[in-house]
C-alpha cells in the first residue's frame, strides 16, 4: 500500500552533527573575532561551495549548478517526475559576518537529508537543498542575486555583467571559481520552498521562544538623498545667513526616525549613511549625502510613509533655501507567506514541543523572491542579542537543532512519505 503521509510527527535531526557541520564549514574564511569573511564568488566562497557540494554528494544527492552559480543538491524521491520540495539559503557572508547567517539554512537542509538517510525514509517527491549565489550583495549588488535570477526578478544578463569595485564581473568570477553552470537548471519548477534562518533580531530571545513562525516580511523602500547648500567660514557667517546642508540633514534624520515610530509596530526608518562635505571643523557643510531605508508590513502604510518623506524633503528645501535631490534605489513590496506553509511550520514546532510564536521578518531573504513563484515559508531561531552581520553573531546548538528538526518535519509534510506495506 502506497500512501502520502501528512507528517511523521516528532522526528529530530542530529543536533551535534549539525553543529559540527557549521563549525567545520565556518573555518573557511574564519576571522580572528570568530566570524567569517567569505564574500561571494571569491576563492573562500569556492572552498565553501566545494565542501558543501562534497557533503551533498556523500549523502547521495545529485548536484547541479545553474548559470548564476546556484547549487542544487537533490535527494531522489519515489516519484522523481514531481517538482522537488526545496529548502536552503546562502553561504556567502558580509566582510565581517557570522557563522550562522545563511549557512544555518543550508546546513539544516543537508542535515535533514542526512537524517532521512539514517532513518531510511523515502519521500514521494524529491527534496532539494539550494545554496543561493550572492545573497548578501556585499561584493556584487544587488542582494539576493541568485534567487532573483532563478525567479526572474533579476535578468541573467544584468546579473552576469555586474562588476565589483575591482572591475571583475560576476561572469568572470564564476569562471574563475569554476561555478558557471548550465541554463537547463535555471528556474525549474518547485513544489514548495522553506528557509530556516537565524532571526537576526532580538524578539525571539526577548520572548523566550525557540521557533519563530514567519508569517511575512516587511516591504522595503530605499533612497539616496543629496542636500546641497553653500560652504562658508564658520566664524564670519551669521547663523541666519547660512545655507547649512548638515542642519537640514540632521532634521531629516530625526524625521525618518519619528516617522517609523509613528507607524509602529511594523514601521522601520533608518539613515545608514550620512556623509558631510567638506568635513572640516571650521567650514559650514555645503553638501550632505545620506540614505533612507523605510520598511513596513502594510504596502499602503509604506507608500504613505514614502509620500511623507518626499513632502518633508520639499519642506526642508524651502525652509533652509537648499537644493535637495532624492532618488529611489530599491523597492521590495511586503509579502505574506503561504498560509499552508505557515501552518506546517507552526504544527511541526508544536508537535516537537518547541515554544513558538508568529513573527515578521524585517530583513530580506531568498524566500521573499521564492514566494512569488511557489508556496513558501520560513523558520526563525534566536540569535544572541539579536546580533547579526557581525563577527560576534552567536546561536545556541539546541536552538539550531530545534529549527532544523522543524524544517525536517515540514519537508516531510510537503514531500510526503512513501510507505511500502
| Residue range 318-366, pLDDT digits in tens | 999 999 999 998 888 999 999 999 999 999 999 999 999 999 999 889 9
- Residue where a domain stops, chosen among 310, 332, 354: 332
* Cis omega (within 30 of 0) for bond into 142: yes
Q: Are residues 245 and 316 in the same domain?
A: yes
**Any idea what DSSP says for residue 152?**
T
Among candidates 215, 192, 195, 211, which has minimal Cα distance to 366? 195
Asked if 256 and 268 touch (Cβ cutoff 8 Å), the reply is no
Q: Are residues 318 and 359 in the same domain?
A: no
Q: Burial code of 128-166, b = ≥16 C-beta within 10 A, e = fewer?
A: bbbbbbbbbbbbbebbbbbbbbbbebbebeebbebebee
pLDDT for res 9: 59
Q: Are residues 307 and 228 in the same domain?
A: yes
Q: Are residues 56 and 119 in the same domain?
A: yes
62-82 mean pLDDT:
98
- Residue where a domain stops, chosen among 332, 350, 374: 332
| Residue range 177-234, pLDDT digits in tens | 999 998 877 899 999 999 999 999 999 999 999 999 999 999 999 999 999 999 999 9
pLDDT for res 132: 98
The DSSP secondary structure of 87-135, one letter per residue, reads EEEE----TTB-SSTTHHHHHHHHHHHHHHHHHT--BSS-EEEEEES-S
Q: Are residues 284 and 321 in the same domain?
A: yes
% of residues, the chain, pLDDT over 90: 93
Average pLDDT, the chain: 95
In a domain, 420, yes or no: no
Confidence of residue 8 (pLDDT cuts 50, 70, 90): low
In degrees to the nearest 10, what's the CA dihedral of 137, 141, 142, 147?
-60
Q: Are residues 28 and 108 in the same domain?
A: yes
Type and span of the H or E element at 328: strand 323-332
| Residue range 156-189, pLDDT digits in tens | 999 999 999 999 999 999 999 999 998 877 899 9
Q: Are residues 102 and 240 in the same domain?
A: no
Distance between CA 391 and CA 371 in Å, rounded?
A: 30
Distance between CA 53 and CA 70 in Å, rounded?
A: 11
**Which residue reads 547663523 in cell numbers?**
239
Task: Locate the DSSP E strands across 141-238.
Answer: 192-198, 211-217, 219-228, 232-233
Distance between CA 134 and CA 137 in Å, rounded?
A: 6
Distance between CA 352 and CA 213 in Å, rounded?
A: 14
Q: Are residues 292 and 340 in the same domain?
A: no
pLDDT for res 2: 35
| Residue range 270-326, pLDDT digits in tens | 999 999 999 999 999 999 999 999 999 999 999 999 999 999 999 999 999 999 999
91-99 mean pLDDT:
96
In a domain, 190, yes or no: yes
Domain around 119? 15-215+336-415
98-108 mean pLDDT:
98
pLDDT for res 408: 98
Asked if 31 and 37 touch (Cβ cutoff 8 Å), the reply is yes
Centre a 10 Å sphere on the Cβ of residue 167 and count the other Cβ atoms it contains: 7
Task: Locate 153 and state its grid cell.
Answer: 526578478
Among candidates 186, 206, 279, 287, which has minimal Cα distance to 243? 287
Amino acid at each position: 500500500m502506497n500512501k502520502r503521509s501528512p507528517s511523521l510527527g516528532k522526528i529530530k535531526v542530529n543536533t551535534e552533527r549539525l553543529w559540527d557541520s557549521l563549525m567545520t564549514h565556518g573555518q573557511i574564511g574564519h576571522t580572528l573575532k570568530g566570524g567569517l569573511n567569505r564574500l561571494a564568488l571569491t576563492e573562500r566562497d569556492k572552498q565553501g561551495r566545494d565542501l558543501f557540494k562534497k557533503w551533498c554528494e556523500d549523502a547521495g544527492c545529485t548536484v547541479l549548478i545553474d548559470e548564476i552559480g546556484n547549487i542544487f543538491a537533490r535527494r531522489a524521491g519515489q516519484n522523481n517526475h514531481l517538482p522537488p520540495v526545496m529548502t536552503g539559503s546562502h553561504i556567502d557572508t558580509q566582510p565581517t559576518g557570522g557563522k550562522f547567517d545563511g549557512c544555518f539554512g543550508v546546513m539544516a537542509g543537508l542535515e535533514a537529508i542526512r537524517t532521512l538517510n539514517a532513518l531510511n525514509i523515502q519521500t514521494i517527491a524529491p527534496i532539494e537543498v539550494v545554496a543561493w549565489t550572492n545573497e548578501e550583495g556585499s561584493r556584487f549588488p544587488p542582494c539576493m542575486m541568485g534567487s532573483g535570477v532563478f525567479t526572474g526578478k533579476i535578468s541573467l544578463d544584468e546579473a552576469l555583467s555586474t562588476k565589483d569595485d575591482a572591475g571583475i564581473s560576476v561572469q568572470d568570477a564564476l569562471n574563475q571559481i569554476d561555478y558557471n553552470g548550465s541554463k537547463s537548471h535555471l528556474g525549474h519548477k518547485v513544489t514548495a520552498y522553506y528557509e530556516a534562518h537565524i532571526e537576526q533580531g532580538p524578539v525571539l530571545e526577548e520572548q523566550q521562544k525557540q521557533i519563530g513562525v514567519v508569517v511575512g516580511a516587511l516591504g522595503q523602500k530605499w533612497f539616496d538623498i543629496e542636500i546641497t547648500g553653500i560652504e562658508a567660514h564658520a566664524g564670519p557667517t551669521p547663523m541666519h545667513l547660512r545655507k547649512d546642508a548638515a542642519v537640514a540633514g540632521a532634521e531629516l534624520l530625526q524625521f525618518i526616525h519619528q516617522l517609523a515610530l509613528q507607524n509602529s509596530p511594523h514601521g522601520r526608518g533608518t539613515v545608514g549613511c550620512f556623509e558631510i562635505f567638506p568635513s572640516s571643523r571650521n567650514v559650514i557643510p555645503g553638501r550632505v549625502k545620506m540614505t533612507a531605508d523605510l520598511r513596513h508590513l502594510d504596502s499602503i502604510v509604506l507608500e504613505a510613509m514614502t509620500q511623507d518623506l518626499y513632502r518633508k524633503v520639499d519642506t526642508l528645501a524651502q525652509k533652509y533655501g537648499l537644493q535637495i535631490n532624492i532618488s529611489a534605489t530599491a523597492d521590495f513590496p511586503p509579502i505574506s507567506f503561504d498560509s499552508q506553509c505557515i501552518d506546517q511550520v507552526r504544527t511541526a514546532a508544536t508537535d516537537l514541543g518547541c515554544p513558538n510564536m508568529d513573527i515578521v521578518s524585517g530583513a530580506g531573504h531568498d524566500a521573499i523572491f521564492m514566494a512569488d513563484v511557489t508556496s513558501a515559508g520560513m523558520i526563525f531561531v534566536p540569535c544572541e542579542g539579536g546580533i547579526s552581520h557581525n563577527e560576534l553573531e552567536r546561536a545556541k546548538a539546541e536552538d539550531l537543532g530545534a529549527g532544523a528538526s522543524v524544517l525536517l518535519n515540514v519537508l516531510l509534510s510537503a514531500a510526503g512519505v512513501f510507505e511500502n506495506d
